[in-house]
């Protein structure tokens, strides 16, 4: 099997995508038994099934639709469309131009269409959901030959509990490739995914203090919500991965700074420093107010500031 993923080189193409494409192609061949030369038409939900799917994803849709419109405004001039799917790879919404309609009809990029990787093969929505990570697919990267001109930049969207809520996909079907802009496109879609996640997280933790553990990578930002005692009330997908928190651990109301202080790796030290800086900035440099925000005493805050050389 000729693998386009093995031929990637240079900085224009996101480095992680090559590995994801290769793994997806292997699944298509060995696990799914899909013939790339066969034509394919997506299954489409009935009206009642589609309404249930949208109702189940109503919180994500409320946060995602405005972001989709914003994203479409950025990429519209490049001939790209924006698609949103639920965790089952069912397309829930799209932002398109009239010029996209023929391609949408041909590829079944319509509301209610199911783009699960196990039936559609390697594709933006299905593969991003399957691997829970961003994926960039340019011409020739989709498994099926009928998608040879389809290009997709897709990211999973995470909810307030760190679970996959759906996938956001920017796509085009054209003779002109967007590969020279692949890294830029991928970063733009990831930023949109992170903004949707943050809206869902802040809506879920209204009235609680939201702090960042560091810079964002991928489509999730490492955010935590803490109460007045400094106990963690919630954490995003990236924050859970960073610290190693599980649902059971968070149910026990762990103390944020206590958790970071016991971490021995340098990244934990940086996270603790970032949390303290954020609290101080939010309180205009007032140490007493920052300590209250973090649920610790002023003496403990000063000790921590000294330990991390802040």
DSSP string, 168-180: EEEEEESSS--GG
Kindly give the interhelix angle for 287-294 and 266-282, rounded to the nearest 10 degrees: 120
Record the tokens describing residue 293, joined without a space.
Answer: 């925000």
3-state helix, strand, coil in the chain (%, to 5): 50, 15, 35
Same structural domain for residues 160 and 256?
no
pLDDT attached to residue 131: 96
Same structural domain for residues 65 and 150?
yes
Residues 173, 150: contact at Cβ < 8 Å? yes
Same structural domain for residues 132 and 88?
yes
Same structural domain for residues 198 and 212?
no
Same structural domain for residues 182 and 89?
yes
Same structural domain for residues 170 and 254?
no
Distance of CA 111 to the CA centre of its chain: 21
- Helix and strand tally (H, E) in the chain? 13, 8
Full residue range of the structural domain in which residue 193 is found = 4-202
pLDDT attached to residue 16: 54
pLDDT attached to residue 2: 45
Q: What stretch of H or E contains 18?
A: helix 15-26
Residues 132, 164: contact at Cβ < 8 Å? yes
Which residues are bridge partners to 8 per DSSP? none
Same structural domain for residues 21 and 162?
yes
Same structural domain for residues 188 and 284?
no
Which residues are bridge partners to 211 per DSSP? 224
Q: How far is CA 62 from CA 47, 75, 94, 136, in A?
A: 20, 21, 14, 26
The Cα–Cα gap between 167 and 184 comes to 18
Same structural domain for residues 46 and 76?
yes
Tokens 């069912």 -> residue: 90
Same structural domain for residues 158 and 102?
yes
The Cα–Cα gap between 292 and 177 comes to 53
pLDDT attached to residue 135: 96
Record the tokens describing residue 224, joined without a space.
Answer: 């935590």
Same structural domain for residues 74 and 162?
yes
Q: What stretch of H or E contains 233?
A: strand 232-235
pLDDT in tens, the chain (310 residues): 444 444 444 445 454 578 899 999 999 999 999 999 998 999 999 999 999 999 999 999 999 999 999 999 999 999 999 999 999 999 999 999 998 999 999 999 999 999 999 999 999 999 999 999 999 999 999 999 999 999 999 999 999 999 999 999 999 998 889 999 999 999 999 999 999 999 999 999 999 989 888 888 888 999 999 888 788 999 999 999 988 889 998 998 887 766 555 544 544 556 666 667 767 766 777 888 777 777 777 777 777 677 666 6
Q: What are phi and psi of 91, to 5 degrees?
A: -70, 125
Record the tokens describing residue 212, joined without a space.
Answer: 């960042």
pLDDT attached to residue 304: 67
**34: CB partners within 8 A, 6+ apart:** 28, 119, 121, 143, 144
Count of structural domains within the chain: 2
Check which CATH number belongs to the domain holding 64 and give it: 3.30.450.40
pLDDT attached to residue 84: 98
| Full DSSP string of 87-124 | TT-BEEEEE--GGGHHHHHHHT-STTBB--HHHH-S-H
Of 182, 202, 222, which marks where a domain is finished?
202
Same structural domain for residues 231 and 147?
no
């Amino acid at each position: 099997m000729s693998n386009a993923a093995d031929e990637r080189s240079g900085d224009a193409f996101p480095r992680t995508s090559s590995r994801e494409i290769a793994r997806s192609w292997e699944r298509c061949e060995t696990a799914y038994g899909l013939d790339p030369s066969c034509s394919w038409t997506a299954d489409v939900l009935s009206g009642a099934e589609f309404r249930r799917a949208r109702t189940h994803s109503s919180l994500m849709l409320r946060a995602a639709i405005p972001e989709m419109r914003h994203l479409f405004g950025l990429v519209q001039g490049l001939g790209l469309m924006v698609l949103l799917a639920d965790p089952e790879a069912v397309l829930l919404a799209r932002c398109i131009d009239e010029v996209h309609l023929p391609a949408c009809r041909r590829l079944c990029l319509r509301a209610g269409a199911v783009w699960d990787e196990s039936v559609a093969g390697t594709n933006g929505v299905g593969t991003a959901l399957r691997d829970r990570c961003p994926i960039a697919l340019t011409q020739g990267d989709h498994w099926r030959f009928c998608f040879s001109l389809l290009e997709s930049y897709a990211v999973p969207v995470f909810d307030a509990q760190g679970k996959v809520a759906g996938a956001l996909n920017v796509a085009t079907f054209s003779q002109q490739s967007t590969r020279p802009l692949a890294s830029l496109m991928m970063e733009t879609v990831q930023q949109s995914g992170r903004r949707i996640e943050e809206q869902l997280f802040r809506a879920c933790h209204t009235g609680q203090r939201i702090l960042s553990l560091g810079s964002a990578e991928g489509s999730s930002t490492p955010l935590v919500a803490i109460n007045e005692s400094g106990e963690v009330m919630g954490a995003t997908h990236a924050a859970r991965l960073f610290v190693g928190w599980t649902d059971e651990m968070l149910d026990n109301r762990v103390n944020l700074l206590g958790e970071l202080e016991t971490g021995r790796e340098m990244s934990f030290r940086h996270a603790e420093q970032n949390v303290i800086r954020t609290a101080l900035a939010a309180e205009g440099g007032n140490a007493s107010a920052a300590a209250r925000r973090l649920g610790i005493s002023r003496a403990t805050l000063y000790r921590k500031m000294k330990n991390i050389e802040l």
